[in-house]
Amino acid sequence: MSHPEPHAALQALSTQLGPELLLTDDFTRGLYASDDTPRRCMPEGVLFPKTHEQVRDIVAIARQYRVPLVARGAGSGNVGGALPLPGSLVLSFECMNRILDFDPVNRTITVQAGVITQDIDQLARSQGLFYPPDPGSAPYCRIGGNLAMNAAGPKAVKYGVTRDYVLALRAITGTGAEIRTGSRTSKGVVGYDLTRLLVGSEGTLALITEATLRLLPAPNARATLRVCFDSNVHACEAVARVMAGHITPSALEFMDHHAIEAIRATGAASDLPPETRALLMVEADGEASDLPRQIRALEQSLQGPGLLELLEARDPDAITALWTARKSLSGAIKRIAPLKINEDVVVPVTRLAELLAEIERLTRHYELPIVTFGHAGNGNLHVNLMVHPEDKGEMARAREALLQLFKAVLQLGGTLSGEHGIGTEKRDYLPLELDPATLAVMQGIKRQFDPDGILNPGKALPMRS
Amino acid sequence: MSHPEPHAALQALSTQLGPELLLTDDFTRGLYASDDTPRRCMPEGVLFPKTHEQVRDIVAIARQYRVPLVARGAGSGNVGGALPLPGSLVLSFECMNRILDFDPVNRTITVQAGVITQDIDQLARSQGLFYPPDPGSAPYCRIGGNLAMNAAGPKAVKYGVTRDYVLALRAITGTGAEIRTGSRTSKGVVGYDLTRLLVGSEGTLALITEATLRLLPAPNARATLRVCFDSNVHACEAVARVMAGHITPSALEFMDHHAIEAIRATGAASDLPPETRALLMVEADGEASDLPRQIRALEQSLQGPGLLELLEARDPDAITALWTARKSLSGAIKRIAPLKINEDVVVPVTRLAELLAEIERLTRHYELPIVTFGHAGNGNLHVNLMVHPEDKGEMARAREALLQLFKAVLQLGGTLSGEHGIGTEKRDYLPLELDPATLAVMQGIKRQFDPDGILNPGKALPMRS
C-alpha cells in the first residue's frame, strides 16, 4: 500500500472544495483534536462539507492519497470514536445541518447528518410527534454521531435506541461508492439490511450523509417517581419487579450511594431520607388520562423490602425538582477526582445486584472511588472510575479494575457497551466478548467497505493481527 | 471452482450424521420440492439436523463437495426463499424445535431455529408476555424462516417486525464459521450489527441455528372496529388520518372492492352495507380500562367523507365475527382463478390511494382480476394478480402488469417488499429499486460470508453479472 500523503491531499481538497471548507490553522485543528475522552491528537486539517457530493469528493481524494478520515458530529462521544489519528483529516458534519423533508402524516423526517438531535425532536413535537432516542448530549450532539454510535438514553427502556428509528440512509463507503439503504416506508425487506449494518459502525464502514428517521406520536403527559431504598440489592429487586410487570416505564434510572453522596456534597438532594443507599427515578408517559393507571401499577411493582420513600410528581415543575438530584450528578462527581473513566456496561436486569456487589468489591480492593448510575431498566449502568491521571499507580489500578469489571459483566451474561460504543477506549477489550470467528467476519466487512482503511481506522474493532 | 458432487456429499453426510437424519426417498424429496410458490424442484435429499453442531458439520460437507444448501422452516414462504435448486440439499430445521431458555423477568426467550412461531408467543403469554410479530402462518411457520425473511403481520403497524425482536443469534456462515451475534441484553453496541445483517438475508449468508428474542408485556384486552367506506380514496384518507393521529392501532387492515366481492361470493360478509367499496379493520390493544380512550380517538380519526358504517366489538366472540370477512379472504379469492401472484408492495400511507388507482388501471388495461388487501397502516398492500397458469397470454399480461406495478410503487416512494422478501420471485426486479453501487456492496457481503456460493444461491439478490 502506498504511503499516506496528507499534504498533497490537503492541496487537492482545497482545489476541489474551495479553501473556505477546509481549515488547517492551529487554532481550528486544536478545537478538533479531542472528543469527550482525555486523549488528544491534532488532525492535519478539518473539513466542513455542506453536501453529499462534497463528502463523496472528499472520500475520493482521501483514498487517492491514503489519508485517514475521521467523521465527527459534535465530538461529544466518550470512547474516542471522533478522536483524530496522526496524519488524519477530521470531516466535521456541522455544516450539513439541513432538514431535507418532514412528513408528519407518514411520520418520517429526512435530515443531513449534521442536524442537532434535539432539533429533530423539537420539529417533530411541533406536529404532535417526537423522536424518542434521548442521549444526554441531545441539545448539542449531531444525528450523524448518534447513528454512528447507535446512541440511546433513558427513554430506551420503553422506546428503544437510535437503530430502531432509522428507515433509510444515504452514505459513501470507503471505496467512494454512493449507496442508499432501506426505504422511507415503515416496512421493507429488499436486500440485506445495510441500514443497521452502518448504524453503530462508528464511521468505519461508510460516511452517512443523510438519514430518514421514523417518528412516533408524542405522549402529552408524564409523571415521575423518586424512590429511595436502603440498599442496592433492594433497589435492584424493585427494578426486576418493574421490568417483569405490565407497564414499561419511559425511564428507570438508578443511582448508587456513591452517586448520592456526591450529590449531597454539593448541597442538592438534601431532602433524601438520610439512610438512602440507592435511588430510582421512574417515569411513565402517555395521555394524561392514562397516567394514573400506569403510576398505580408501577408503584405496586416498586413496593417491597427496603423501600424508604416514594415521591410522585405529575406537574412539570415538580418533575424538574425530582430530576434535579439526577441531573446534578455529572457536575457533582467531578469534585471527587479530575478524571472519570466512564464505562457503560450492560447485564440482564436480574443480575444488576450481583454486578453492583462486584463493583463494591472493586472499589475496596483497588482503593478507587467508583460512582455508578444509569439506565437500570435496560440493565445498562454507567460505572465511573474516578482517578487522578498524573497518579501512575492509581491509573494502573484503574486499568486492572476495568478488566475485572468487564470480566464480571460478561460472566453475568452482559455486554461491554450499551450505548457509548467501542471507539479506541474499548477496542482492545472486544476479544473478551466476541469470539475470533465473529471478529473475523466483522473485520472482513470492514475490508470490503473500506479496503484502504481510510475510514476512522483503528476504531470499533481490534487492529488486525 | 470445482464441480458440485451431490452424491459424494450425501454419502459423507450419511456417515457423519447417521442415516436417520438424511432422507433421499422420492416421497420425502417430493414433499420438500416446493414452497408456497407454484414452482417445484426436487432436491437431492433432505437433512433433519437436531443440533447446532450438526448444522456446522453439514455446512462443512456441503462446502467440501460444493453442494447448495437450501435452509427451510415450514416452507410457507411465497417468494421461493425455501425452493430447492437443481442438485441442492434441503436443510430442514423442523427437528431443531427446542426452547433453550425462557427468562420472563428479563423478557427474553432463546430458541432453536425450528420452533413454531406461535409456540413462542403462547409460552410468552403463559407469563403475561407476548411475541409481537404475527405472520398469517404463525400457527405452523418456524421462527428460523421468520428470521430469514424478516416476517411481519398485522401487528407490525404498532409493534414492528421480526427484526425488532431479535437480540442475539448463533449461526454458521458459508465458510463453516460459527458465529455469535448481539447479546441477550436489551441494549448493546459491541461490534457491527451482524444480527440484523442476518435477519432478512434469506439463508444466503449464514444458517441461523439459535435466536434470543425480546418479548413484551402482553396487552390484556383488545377492541376491533369494522369500518366501511364508499371508495378506496375515502378509506385511504381515513388510514392517513389514523396514522397521523395520537393513537397507533395494533392493526389497520384494508380490503378493496374486489376482495369484498370475493368474500360476498362465498356468502360471508352479507351484513356489509351494499354500497361498500372499501373496508378497514382497525384494532386497538392494551389494558381494558384504557381501551375506550383509544377507541374514541380512533373513531374520531376514522370519521370523514365516505364513511358508511362503523361497527365496534370488544368481546372476543364479536371480534372473531368481525374478522370473519377478512379471514375468509384467502379461501375466497381462490375461486377467481387457480393461481394468485401474491405481491407485497409498500408505499407511504399518504400515497395509498394513488397506488390503488394505478392498480385499478392495471386491472382494466391488462384484463386481469387483481384483488388487493393488506396492512394499510404500514402502507403495505398484498396485490394478488389472479391468473390461469396454463393461459400463456394471460401470464404474459400478468408479467407486464407486475412490472408496471413495481414501477408505480417506486415512483410513489415505496419498496418492492414489505414482509414476504425477495427469494427467486422478485430477484430480477431488485435493480429497479437498488442502484448498482448498493447492489454491489450486498453482493460483496454475500461473497464474504459464502465465497463458494453454497448457501441458497440465486436467492435474495440478482445473480452476479
> Quick one: B319 and B378 in the same domain?
no
Q: Is A146 on the interface with B (CB under 8 A)?
A: no
> Quick one: A62 and A45 in the same domain?
yes
Cα dist. B347→A212, A357, B245, B370 in Å? 15, 52, 19, 18
Domain CATH code at residue A12: 3.30.43.10
Chain B residues with CB inside 8 Å of A150's CB? 189, 193
Evaluate if residue B415 carries a pLDDT over 60: yes
CB-nearest to B350 from A106, A415, A461 is: A106
Residue A391: inside a domain, yes or no?
no
Residue B454: inside a domain, yes or no?
no
A187: helix, coil or strand? coil
Enter the C-alpha cell of residue B297.
380517538
Residue B41: inside a domain, yes or no?
yes
Instruction: Judge whether A37 and A108 are in contact, CB under 8 Å.
Output: no
Q: Is B449 on the interface with A (CB under 8 A)?
A: yes
Enter the C-alpha cell of residue A139.
441539545
Q: Is B403 on the interface with A (CB under 8 A)?
A: no
Chain B residues with CB inside 8 Å of A444's CB? 448
> Quick one: B197 and B105 in the same domain?
yes
Nearest CA to CA, how far is A394 from chain B (Å)? 27
Nearest CA to CA, how far is B45 from chain A (Å)? 28
Number of domains chain B is built from: 4
SS (H, E, C) chain B: CCCCCHHHHHHHHHHHHCHHHEECCHHHHHHCCCCCCCCCCCCCEEECCCCHHHHHHHHHHHHHCCCCEEEECCCCCCCCCCCCCCCCEEEECCCCCCEEEEECCCCEEEEECCCEHHHHHHHHHCCCEECCCCCCCCCCCEHHHHHHHCCCCCCHHHHCCHHHHEEEEEEEECCCCEEEEECCCCCCCCCCCHHHHHCCCCCCCEEEEEEEEECEECCCEEEEEEEEECCHHHHHHHHHHHHCCCCCCCEEEEEEHHHHHHHHHCCCCCCCCCCCCEEEEEEEEECHHHHHHHHHHHHHHHCCCCEEEEEEECCHHHHHHHHHHHHCHHHHHCCCCCEEEEEEEECCHHHHHHHHHHHHHHHHHCCCCEEEEEEHHHCEEEEEEEECCCCHHHHHHHHHHHHHHHHHHHHCCCECECCCCCCCCCHHHHHHHCCHHHHHHHHHHHHHHCCCCCECCCCCCCCCC
> Quick one: A54 and A108 in the same domain?
no
Cα dist. B417→B166, B342, B347 in Å? 20, 11, 10
Domain CATH code at residue B128: 3.30.465.10
Q: How far apart are CA A62 and CA A12, in angstroms?
A: 9
Instruction: Judge whether A167 and A186 are in contact, CB under 8 Å.
Output: yes
- Ordered strands of the B99-103 beta sheet: B99-103, B108-112, B206-214, B166-173, B178-182
Cα dist. A356→A163, A281, A297, B26 in Å? 28, 17, 26, 60
N residues, chain B:
465
A104: helix, coil or strand? coil
Chain A residues with CB inside 8 Å of B150's CB? 189, 193
Residue B79: inside a domain, yes or no?
yes
Cα dist. B389→B39, B331, B338, B341 in Å? 11, 18, 8, 10
Q: Is A101 on the interface with B (CB under 8 A)?
A: no
Q: What is the DSSP letter of A24?
A: -
Q: How far apart are CA A391 and CA A226, in angstroms?
A: 38
pLDDT value at residue A194: 98
Q: Model confidence over B281-312: pLDDT tens digits? A: 999 999 888 899 999 999 999 999 999 999 99
Instruction: Judge whether A159 and A132 are in contact, CB under 8 Å.
Output: yes
> Quick one: B158 and B207 in the same domain?
yes
With the C-alpha atoms ordered A197, A200, A204, A206, is the resulting torsion angle positive or negative?
A: positive
> Quick one: B62 and B128 in the same domain?
no
Domain CATH code at residue B371: 3.30.70.2740
Q: Model confidence over B363-404: pLDDT tens digits? A: 999 999 999 999 999 999 999 999 999 999 999 999 999 999
Task: Count the neighbouring beta carbons within 10 Å of the beta carbon of residue B288.
Answer: 12
Residue B455: inside a domain, yes or no?
no
B435, A217: Cβ pair inside 8 Å?
Answer: no
> Quick one: A205 and A255 in the same domain?
no
Evaluate if residue B326 carries a pLDDT over 80: no
pLDDT value at residue A372: 97
At which of B395, B411, B427 does a domain end? B411
Give the pLDDT band of residue B33 (cuts 50, 70, 90): very high
Residue B440: inside a domain, yes or no?
no
B103, A348: Cβ pair inside 8 Å?
Answer: yes
Chain A residues with CB inside 8 Å of B243's CB? 105-107
Enter the C-alpha cell of residue B43.
432436491
Cα dist. A61→A1, A16, A29, A144, B206 in Å? 16, 9, 20, 22, 36
pLDDT value at residue B464: 63
Q: How many CB pairs under 8 A join A and B?
A: 266
Question: What is the mean pLDDT, run by run of 10 residues, along chain A of 465 residues?
Answer: 87 95 97 94 98 98 98 95 97 98 96 98 97 96 98 97 98 98 95 98 98 96 95 98 95 96 84 94 93 95 98 85 78 88 95 98 96 97 96 96 98 97 95 97 98 97 75
Residue B437: inside a domain, yes or no?
no
> Quick one: B145 and B40 in the same domain?
no
A346, B183: Cβ pair inside 8 Å?
Answer: yes
Q: Is B432 on the interface with A (CB under 8 A)?
A: no
pLDDT value at residue B465: 47
Q: Is B217 on the interface with A (CB under 8 A)?
A: yes
> Quick one: B107 and B88 in the same domain?
no
Q: Which domain holds residue B22?
A: 6-92
Chain A residues with CB inside 8 Å of B438's CB? 177, 179-181, 191, 194
> Quick one: A187 and A110 in the same domain?
yes
B191, A150: Cβ pair inside 8 Å?
Answer: no
> Quick one: A234 and A275 in the same domain?
yes
At which of A31, A59, A92 does a domain end? A92
pLDDT value at residue A330: 78
Q: Is A190 on the interface with B (CB under 8 A)?
A: yes
DSSP for A130-183, written as a single string: E-----TTTTT-BHHHHHHHT---TTHHHH--GGGGEEEEEEEETT--EEEEE-
Enter the C-alpha cell of residue A382.
454507567
CB-nearest to B448 from A293, A435, A445 is: A445
Q: How far apart are CA B98 and CA B157, in angstroms?
A: 30
Residue A254: inside a domain, yes or no?
yes
> Quick one: A123 and A227 in the same domain?
no
Q: Is B434 on the interface with A (CB under 8 A)?
A: yes
At which of A300, A331, A362 does a domain end? A331
Domain CATH code at residue A256: 3.30.70.2190
With the C-alpha atoms ordered A213, A218, A219, A224, is the resulting torsion angle positive or negative?
A: positive
Task: Count the neighbouring beta carbons within 10 Å of the beta carbon of residue A233.
Answer: 18
